[in-house]
């Protein structure tokens, strides 16, 4: 199956579908730093702003993939949705290509809050538009914790098919096959990742459970409380530098952030830490998308 990778970021969705046996024939990403990481790992620089790309210029494909911008729908963002003309309406670029090219299937990914934004009206507009385009639409919130990663990351997955195929979202993986936090941590991270003594003391003073077993990742919420968990809170693109800390001692390394999203250790890091943190926060949990991809392919073939 040929796929196109829109709003590609660093290629997490592409990687998942390629793992499932698909071939990517086109990609698009506007951010120059993400394009650099993408090029280093897929030997291909994505095309730029999708708004400037004609539908007719995209090669033949079978499945449209898009993790369209989510900041305006997130509980973290301003939640302006379609009122944000720069990002919120980019969904309609997806709709434009679906209308013009009419591929057999698509898969979209976004934040959980998309379903609740504007009392559900935003999600209703999106699914209604997809149905008007002639697609049978399936949607479900999936959590990376249920698919083997030590990260609580809930995302809405929207899968659509031109034919009324028998599609089911994937079931969670067994507990025995799920990675633990200790499985993704590096052994001897460089000193640069460790926080200052003052930051550490401040975190420990606010730590809710000072006897929580190690290793843990603590999350500082908006009220200032520091809560330890045996998994990471969702990686965020725009979070503060110390949003999550490992054992309240250090920030996660680039490799650890990639592992939390399910990227292989062969994935190359070619940008500074701040950019990698942003790119990982904007990316997807690869095993979740791969599980969805396999179910989609099963439904299409059958």
The 10s digit of each residue's pLDDT in 141-183 is 999 999 999 999 999 999 999 999 999 999 999 999 999 999 9
Exposure on the CB side of residue 197, measured as CA atoms within 13 A: 0
User: Is residue 246's pLDDT more than 90?
Assistant: yes
- The percent of residues in the chain predicted with pLDDT above 90, rounded, is 81
Q: Identify the sign of the CA torsion 266, 183, 9, 168.
A: positive
Contact 260, 252 (CB under 8 A): yes
Residues 228, 95, single domain; the answer is: no
pLDDT the model gives residue 118: 77
User: Is residue 92's pLDDT more than 70?
Assistant: yes
Residues 292, 260, single domain; the answer is: no
Task: For residue 111, count CB atoms less than 10 angstroms from its CB and return exposed for 0-12, middle for 13-18, buried for 19 or more.
Answer: buried
DSSP E strand boundaries for 71-150:
105-111, 136-143
| The model's pTM | 0.93
Residues 23, 167, single domain; the answer is: yes
Token readout for 264 is 């292989």
Q: For the CA atoms of the chain, what is the radius of gyration?
A: 19
Residues 193, 153, single domain; the answer is: no
The owner of tokens 């049978």 is: 136
CATH number at residue 107: 3.40.50.150
Number of domains in the chain: 2
Domain residues for the domain of 119 are 2-176+280-301
For helices 91-101 and 121-132, the axis angle rounded to 10 degrees is: 10
Averaged pLDDT for residues 67-76? 60
pLDDT the model gives residue 80: 56
Residue with the bigger pLDDT between 238 and 299: it is 299
pLDDT the model gives residue 77: 46
Which run of H or of E encompasses 245? strand 244-246
Which run of H or of E encompasses 204? helix 197-206
Pick from 65-79, 100-114, 145-159, 253-267: least confident: 65-79
Residues 26, 105, single domain; the answer is: yes
CATH number at residue 242: 3.90.120
Pick from 40-44, 73-77, 195-199, 249-253: least confident: 73-77
Residues 26, 170, single domain; the answer is: yes
Split at pLDDT 50, 70, 90, the class of 83 is low
pLDDT the model gives residue 139: 97
Residues 262, 287, single domain; the answer is: no
Residues 47, 142, single domain; the answer is: yes
In degrees, to the nearest 5, what angle opens at C-alpha 181 toward C-alphas 177 and 182? 95
Q: Render pLDDT for 14-42 as a digit per residue (tens, 0 to 9).
A: 999 999 999 999 999 999 999 999 999 99
User: Is residue 74's pLDDT more than 60?
Assistant: no
Split at pLDDT 50, 70, 90, the class of 58 is very high
Q: Which residues contact 184 (CB under 8 A, 6 or more apart)?
A: 150, 256, 259, 260
Residues 285, 198, single domain; the answer is: no
Q: What is the DSSP string of 246-273?
A: ETTTBPPPHHHHHHHTT--TTS---S-H
Task: Provide the β-strand partners of residue 268.
Answer: none
**DSSP annotation of 197:** H
Residues 36, 146, single domain; the answer is: yes
- The Cα 170–Cα 152 span in angstroms is 17
**Looking at the annotation, which residues are catalytic?**
70
Residues 163, 241, single domain; the answer is: no
Residues 182, 163, single domain; the answer is: no
User: Is residue 122's pLDDT more than 90?
Assistant: no
What is the CB neighbour count within 10 angstroms for residue 167? 18
Pick from 4-13, 14-23, 87-96, 261-270: least confident: 87-96
């Amino acid at each position: 199956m040929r796929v196109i990778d829109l709003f590609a970021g660093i290629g997490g969705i592409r990687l998942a579908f390629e793992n499932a046996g698909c071939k990517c024939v086109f990609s698009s990403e506007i951010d120059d730093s993400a394009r650099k990481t993408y090029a280093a790992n897929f030997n291909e620089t994505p095309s730029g702003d999708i708004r400037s790309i004609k539908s007719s210029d995209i090669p033949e494909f079978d499945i449209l993939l898009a993790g369209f911008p989510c900041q305006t729908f997130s509980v973290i963002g301003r939640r302006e949705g379609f009122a944000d003309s720069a990002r919120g309406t980019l969904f309609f670029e997806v709709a434009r290509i679906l209308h013009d090219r009419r591929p057999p299937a698509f898969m979209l990914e976004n934040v959980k809050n998309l379903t609740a934004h504007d009392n559900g009206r935003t999600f209703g507009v999106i699914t209604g538009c997809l149905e008007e385009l002639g697609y049978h639409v399936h949607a479900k919130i999936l959590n990376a914790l249920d698919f083997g990663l030590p990260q609580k990351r809930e995302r809405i997955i929207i899968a659509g098919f031109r034919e009324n195929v028998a599609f089911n979202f994937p079931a969670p993986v067994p507990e025995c096959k799920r990675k633990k936090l200790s499985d993704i941590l590096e052994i001897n991270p460089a000193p640069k990742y460790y926080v200052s003594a003052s930051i550490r003391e401040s975190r420990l003073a606010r730590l809710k459970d000072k006897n929580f077993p190690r290793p843990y990742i603590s999350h500082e919420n908006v009220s200032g409380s520091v809560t330890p968990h045996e998994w990471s809170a969702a990686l965020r693109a725009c979070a503060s530098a110390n949003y999550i800390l490992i054992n309240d001692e250090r920030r996660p390394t680039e490799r650890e952030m990639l592992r939390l999203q399910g990227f292989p250790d062969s994935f190359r890091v070619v940008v500074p830490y701040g950019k990698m943190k942003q790119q990982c926060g904007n990316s997807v949990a690869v095993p979740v998308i791969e599980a969805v991809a396999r179910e989609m392919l099963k439904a299409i073939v059958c």
